[in-house]
Structure 1
Amino acid sequence: MAIASLTLAALTEVLRPALPATADPLGPTALALATTLPLIFIRPQPVLAALTVTAAALLAIPAYGHVILSGLPALAISLYVIARHHHGRTATLFATPFALYALTGEDRAVPLLIGAAATLTAGHAHRTRADDTRRRAADQSYTGTALAHAALGERARIARELHDIVAHHVSTISVQAETARFTTPGLTAEGAATFLAIGDTARLALTEMRRLLGVLREDPPETAATPPERAPQPGLDQLVALVDEARETAAGAVRLIVSGPVTALDPGLELTAYRIVQEALTNARRHARGGAVDVRLTYAPRHLAIRVRDSGAGAPPHDTTPGHGLLGMRERTAMAGGTLRTGQAPAGGFLVEATLPIVATESHDS
């Protein structure tokens, strides 16, 4: 409807009596149609439609002494669409004829060039904003996917580490059940069968755990040339050695401060605490080289508090994507049912604070 209205207005403008008389109205009619009617094809053929409208608008000046006013909206729409959907070189090519016409010194040429340039710039700005929006959405999607995969990897790694601790407890159950069959005075046949069933169940659980570990393991198959690394999972009793190692490799001072009554905790909880301190020291070594680091452990009746603070510059302001170290801390803390806070310290530097609940358990290990 709008295109039809512009076309009718253009025909009225070129055929009205006030314009120079012409013996043949075919030329003015074709020119009026060329300035507006190609908008019908602006979506399927934007370049061809814009070329036609631009050529007709410029040809109307020498033919009638001015631009066909009804064709200016069509010209603006055509140039805007070109700049919005095509690269900058295409928009520059469409601006060239207006620039060349402005060099002739005609009074009408400069306003026409300014209008064309403004329209092309607006279309290009819209294209740039749309591209930036799509790029940010793609980056956010990629970042979210990468973090999700990293979280899954961290959980698998944590599960592999906890396997040794759980396997130790299950093995203890199996050994105690087998021993109880022969050391319990006056044990009935039913009681011996019960202990035997407990031992069988524990051994079956160990077998299933080994299969689960095989699923979680991402390492290549074990070969004679690359024997598997076997070592006990670390606990808080190895924290002094960890701090000493960090002190030797870091340029700044590293202090370990322990408060409260030191007690043996669940091995899984101690592993979680050790890894959190380890990741925090690694983070400080990377981002606060030369700064002092304080590691504080506070033993309370119901929780263990961990606080690691460095005196470096802290994380860069633009760095909002957590690394795998911080992600590992969050996953470990969540699995332990605790809370974690990381970020800038009030007086400068980077701060890691974790609170891990202590679940009262009674050990029966032999």
Structure 2
Amino acid sequence: MSQPSVLIERAVTVGRRMTGAPEWPTTAGLLLGLLAMVEVALRVTDSGPRVSIALLLALCATVPLAVARTHLLIAAVTMTVATSLTLATLPRLTGAGLVAQLAVLYLVGRRHSPWVAAPMVLPFVGYALLGPLWLSGTAGSGPDPSPGAGRLSAVLLAAATTTALGTGIARRLRRAAAERAVSRQALEDTLLEHVARGERARIARELHDVVAHHISMIAVQAETARLTTPGMPTEGAKRLVAIAETARAALTEMRRLLGVLRSDTEGVPTRRPQPSLHQLNELLDEARASAGVAARLIVRGHVRSLDPGIELTAYRIVQEALTNVRRHAPGAAVDVALHYTADTLCLSVRDNGPGQAAVGAAGHGLVGMRERVAMVGGTLTAGPAPVSGFLVRATLPLPEETG
């Protein structure tokens, strides 16, 4: 069906451009009806009822195409019946009638389900099987073609009508598949955006304690400087009071914001401090005890204290990576590596499990990792390791050391 399908689709496309879509069936039906009448008048030389029947069947096989845009099934049934009667009585189709029949079958296949469209070609398949026998039985009644030519034309007609219908069905299925793909992609994008927003809210809740601590220290130090500095000018004391008040106001607004972010959470929030890289050994011990994971920690470079936000981000990345290992590669060995450089912290989590399976597994852990890394201006890569297993690698920028 490949080559004929391409030719039929190109012919339909050219026809649309010439007649002007989407009203092309109306123009095509009227034009083909006129051509069919001219062809019958030129072909049939005798007079009488035979000419009238031929003209009526030619019109019924072509003109209904004009209403196919609004009454497709009625037009298709009328044209198919007229074409079948033409084959049974004359038994030769007009060229315009053949083109109209192929066009209406293409439209039926494109607009309706295969269960509705398939019966439209049954008369032509039956004609390909039984038509030559009918022709040989009526060979003495007129100048009919030979049995061999009749069988060949019947088979070609069945193939052409089946191809036209199949082309329309294939076009309809491709369009439906494209629409489903677009809908699926839109749904996936919406879900990912929802997950990303949830992760951002979760990150904001976790960083609240870190930022609140720094703001509280600003307020305390401003008050302490004002009270412990002897001989401080009045203007300087006022400035320190203003700094302390601004810090306390900012802390109050942060608590209100945190209340909004926690409005969609259940239970009572915990009061434990946010974790840091100092708790990595405890995290690995928990992974070994809960899932039997053979995990080890590898540290390179000069270890130094980092900003609490950076340490929290690194800890959460390792925690989520270990969770993914337990979920998608149970029992796999894991290496957690930290590499301190002058301006970056490079961390990686690698297991020896089925790396490709982990890529295709459903989950939103990687979304949370990317959100955390993007928040601190770092980069994240995740995918199958070079030899085997799965590798998560993050590079977090660090401020320059002072002193």
TM-score, scaled relative to structure 2? 0.83
Q: Could you tell me which residue of structure 2 aligns to residue 39 of structure 1?
A: 65
2:176 match: 131
Does the 8 Å CA contact 2:222/2:241 hold for their aligned counterparts?
A: yes
Residue by residue over 1:184-231, the C-alpha shift from the partner in whole angstroms, topping out at 9 and shown as x without a partner, is 22223333222221111111010111111122224358xxxx543221
Paired position in structure 2 for 1:305: 346
Moved more, 63-72 or 234-243: 63-72
3-state SS of paired residue (1:104): helix
TM superposition shift of 1:240 = 0.6
Q: For residues 179 and 265 of structure 2, what CA distance do their matches in structure 1 show?
A: 39
CA distance in 1, matches of 2:216, 2:279: 24
How many residue pairs get matched? 358
Distance 1:94 1:232 in 2: 74
* Equivalent residue letter for 2:399: V
Residues 209-218 or 264-273, more deviating: 209-218
Shift of 1:81: 0.5
Query: Considering only aligned residues, what root-mean-square deviation do their CA atoms show, in Å?
Result: 2.3
- After TM superposition, list the pairs within 5 Å mapping 1:12-23 onto structure 2: 12-16=38-42, 18=44, 21-23=47-49
The yes-or-no answer on 1:315 pairing with 2:361 is: no
Cα separation, 2, equivalents of 1:318 and 1:54: 53
Using the TM superposition, give the Cα deviation of residue 275 of structure 1 relative to its aligned residue in structure 2, in angstroms.
0.6
The percent identity for this pair of structures is 50
Is 1:111 the equivalent of 2:137? no
Task: Indicate yes or no: 2:54 matched with 1:28.
Answer: yes
Cα distance, 1:147–1:184 mapped onto 2, change above 3 Å? same
Compute the displacement of 1:144 (Å). 1.4
Contact kept in structure 1, 2:61 and 2:80, CA below 8 Å: yes
Q: Deviations over 1:160-188 (max 9, x none)?
A: 11111000011111112222222222223
The SS at the match of 2:210 is helix
**Aligned: 1:199 with 2:244:** yes
What does the per-residue CA deviation read over 1:260-280, in whole Å, with 9 as the maximum and x for residues that have no partner?
222111101100110111111
Amino acid at match of 2:230: P
Please give the alpha-carbon distance, in whole angstroms, between the structure 2 residues aligned to 1:219 and 1:5: 66
More displaced 10-residue stretch of structure 1: 310-319 or 76-85:
310-319
Matched, 1:249 2:290: yes
Gap change, CA 1:19 and 1:309, over 3 Å in 2: farther
Shift of 1:17: 5.7
Which residue number in structure 2 is paired with residue 286 of structure 1? 327
- Select between 284-293 and 78-87 the one with higher mean Cα deviation: 284-293
Partner of 1:120: 165
Give ranges in structure 2 of 5+ residues lacking alignment: 1-26, 133-150
- Comparing 96-105 and 204-213, the one that deviates more: 96-105
The TM-score, its normalising length taken from structure 1, stands at: 0.91
Alpha-carbon distance in structure 2 between the residues aligned to 1:256 and 1:71: 80
Q: Unpaired segments of 5 or more residues in structure 1?
A: none
Compared with structure 1, are the counterparts of its residues 141 and 227 closer, same or farther at alpha carbon in structure 2 (3 Å cutoff)? closer
Does the 8 Å CA contact 2:359/2:383 hold for their aligned counterparts?
A: no
**Which residue, out of 66, 75, 90, partners 1:64?**
90
Who is 1:83 aligned against? Answer: 109
Q: How does 1:227-266 map to 2 (within 5 A)?
A: 227-266=268-307
Alignment pair present for 1:97 and 2:123:
yes
Cα-to-partner distance string for 1:279-315 (whole Å, 9 max, x where unaligned): 1111111122221110000111211110111111113
The 8 Å contact of residues 339 and 355 in structure 1, kept in 2 or not, is answered as yes
Query: Structure 2 vs 1, CA of residues 23 and 282 (structure 1 numbering), >3 Å: closer, same or farther?
Result: closer
